[in-house]
Amino acid sequence: MILKKCNPKDLQNFEWLNFEYLPDSRGFKFEIDFEESYDLVSKSIDYFHFLFKKYFNEIIVSPPTPNFEWGSFCLEVWNGTDDTYDYSNKNKHAITINYLNMLKNNNIEVDYIGCCRCLNWNEFLVITLNCIINYMALYSMMFYIPSENIVFYFHYSGSIGVYYQELNAEVINILEKIKISKAELKNSNDERISSFI
């Protein structure tokens, strides 16, 4: 198993996020941009482990926005001509098929709009990051750390976006890890972290 459904109440402390336009959220943000790599999927997974490993049992994953169906993550399921959806494996790239098979094998219905906990991070990230980085998905899944009020996502360029409500000890810990790595901090709206940039 890779995923299991969890209680959406676990995300009730994230009302400060503005999903219509994330930069308008009532919090702070920065992006982590690492040096270019020939394999952005592997590089993204490495940084995920480096920055968030201690929260692996806590992180909750959900689609990009509330009420977004898990099955609609990959663009190929949608026919824009007649606004219909096809969740079969027919006429789809292997990347999309892998994602749809993951849902089926983990009993995640295509119309499920809730959240999940991940039981196998490497498999989950390989499948979903391939969708994002190869333009098979328009947006990243969202990754929540409820105890710290932190949420992050992956960009198709390989960067990681981080939103947080307060500059707490864990955000500072993440910033310190970034500082000792070869990654670059950018696009922050929090002047307090200027010493890390």
pTM above 0.85, yes or no: yes
The 10s digit of each residue's pLDDT in 153-183 is 999 888 899 999 999 999 999 999 998 887 8
Collapsing DSSP states into helix, strand and coil, what is residue 32? strand
Q: Is residue 15 part of a domain?
A: no
Q: Is residue 164 part of a domain?
A: yes
Q: How confident is the model at residue 37 (pLDDT cuts 50, 70, 90)?
A: low
Range of the domain at 84: 25-196
Mean pLDDT, rounded, for 21-30: 91
The 10s digit of each residue's pLDDT in 124-155 is 999 999 999 999 998 999 999 999 999 999 99
Overall number of domains in the chain? 1
Cα–Cα dist 44/155, whole Å: 10
Strands 142-145, 115-118: parallel, antiparallel or unpaired by DSSP? unpaired
Q: Is residue 74 part of a domain?
A: yes
Q: Is residue 2 part of a domain?
A: no
pLDDT score of 89: 93
Residue with tokens 């292997």: 94
Neighbours of 174 (CB within 10 A): 23
Residue 132 structure tokens = 């994002």
**Residue 186: its H or E element:** strand 184-186
Instruction: Kindly tell me if the per-residue pLDDT of 38 is higher than 80.
Output: no
Q: Is residue 1 part of a domain?
A: no
Q: Is residue 3 part of a domain?
A: no
Q: Is residue 180 part of a domain?
A: yes
**Residue 48: its H or E element:** helix 40-52
**Residue 151: its H or E element:** strand 150-154
Name the residue among 2, 1, 26, 7 with its Cα closest to residue 151.
Answer: 26
**Residue 78: its H or E element:** strand 78-79
Q: Is residue 29 part of a domain?
A: yes
For residue 58, the cross-strand partners are none
